[in-house]
């Protein structure tokens, strides 16, 4: 199966790496979806598949299971089992080909805001609007990429090309409830590249950071999707269950909801566990 594509649901596929490493595919949309990672284990000379990742925190008591917790007090988080080296800098670009009816400059600003919110632990839970200490990981924005993310129009995670890209593009063959797909590639123990493709057509985006007036009906906040997908690339998985639906890493994004653009307590705890605290100064 090395180099072959596998179906992970929702019309999304992923290509098993040819080299010794892993690729992880994550989906955000209008309903819950499974997440899968695939890799080659040289010690076993075998391709391994894993699906789903349970939250680190224990399940809530039965009486709390249907009650949505406040994001500022919900400590649940989940791992994709892929993360970058601590203290490393993720260098990334954006891709834009004019689809989706968005202004390119506004699109880039909202994507940058989402990535920055994820890396810098921006939150509405504290007066300072940040959790401290920040996680020990950095991101450097390198401008526009001429190359589309390594995610096919059918939602497939393909082979990596050496650069991390977040872009807007057509997603033919992917179920209409899917808003975006992220793919992360790992060599040995650490992530070395990550791409995100957000749907350009069929689900209109709202740019809450630059748009004036109220969000139109059935539009989706671009910065929230960007923050969510950036956290996937950093190694966080979905926090499944209604009790955790207020966290950024809930698998479902609601129309006009901007809450996922900033981190909840569990989102922050996950980053801190993966990367440790950043030393200030």
Q: Provide the residue ranges of all domains of the chain, joining segments of one domain with +.
A: 5-273
State in Å, rounded, how far the first CA of the chain is from the last one.
Answer: 48
Backbone phi, psi, residue 104, to 5° = -60, -45
pLDDT for the residue 18 = 52
Residue 115: the pLDDT is 98
Supply the pLDDT for residue 15: 45
CA angle (197 as vertex; 194, 202 as ends), nearest 5: 165
pLDDT at 22 over 60: no
Residue 47, beta-bridge partner list: 40
Q: What is the mean pLDDT of the chain?
A: 81
Output the six-digit token pair for 168: 């807007």
* C-alpha to C-alpha distance for 14 and 197, rounded to whole angstroms: 13
What pLDDT is attached to residue 24? 55
pLDDT tens per residue, range 154-167: 888 888 999 999 99
Query: Could you tell me the CATH superfamily of domain 5-273?
Result: Collagenase (Catalytic Domain) (3.40.390.10)
* Distance in angstroms (rounded) separating the CA atoms of residues 220 and 228: 13
């Amino acid at each position: 199966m090395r180099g072959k594509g596998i179906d992970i649901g929702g019309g999304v596929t992923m290509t098993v790496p040819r080299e010794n490493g892993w690729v992880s595919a994550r989906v955000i949309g209008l309903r819950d979806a499974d997440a899968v990672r695939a890799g080659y284990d040289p010690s076993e000379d075998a391709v391994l598949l894993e699906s789903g990742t349970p939250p680190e925190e224990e399940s809530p008591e039965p009486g709390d299971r249907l009650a949505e917790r406040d994001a500022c007090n919900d400590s649940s988080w989940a791992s994709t089992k892929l993360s970058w080296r601590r203290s490393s800098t993720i260098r990334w670009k954006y891709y834009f080909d004019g689809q989706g009816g968005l202004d390119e400059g506004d699109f880039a600003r909202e994507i940058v805001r989402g990535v920055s919110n994820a890396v810098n632990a921006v939150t509405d839970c504290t007066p300072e609007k940040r959790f401290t200490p920040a996680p020990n990981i950095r991101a450097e924005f390198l401008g526009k990429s001429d190359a589309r993310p390594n995610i096919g129009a059918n939602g497939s995670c393909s082979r990596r090309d050496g650069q991390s890209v977040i872009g807007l593009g057509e997603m033919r063959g992917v179920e209409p409830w899917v808003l975006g797909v992220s793919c992360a590639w790992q060599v040995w123990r650490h992530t070395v590249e990550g791409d995100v493709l957000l749907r350009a057509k069929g689900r209109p985006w709202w740019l809450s950071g630059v748009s004036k007036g109220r969000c139109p009906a059935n539009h989706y906040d671009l910065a929230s999707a960007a923050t969510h997908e950036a956290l996937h690339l950093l190694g966080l998985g979905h926090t499944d269950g209604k009790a955790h639906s207020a966290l950024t890493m809930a698998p479902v994004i609601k129309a006009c909801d901007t809450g996922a653009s900033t981190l909840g307590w569990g989102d922050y705890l996950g980053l801190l566990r993966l990367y440790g605290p950043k030393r200030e100064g």
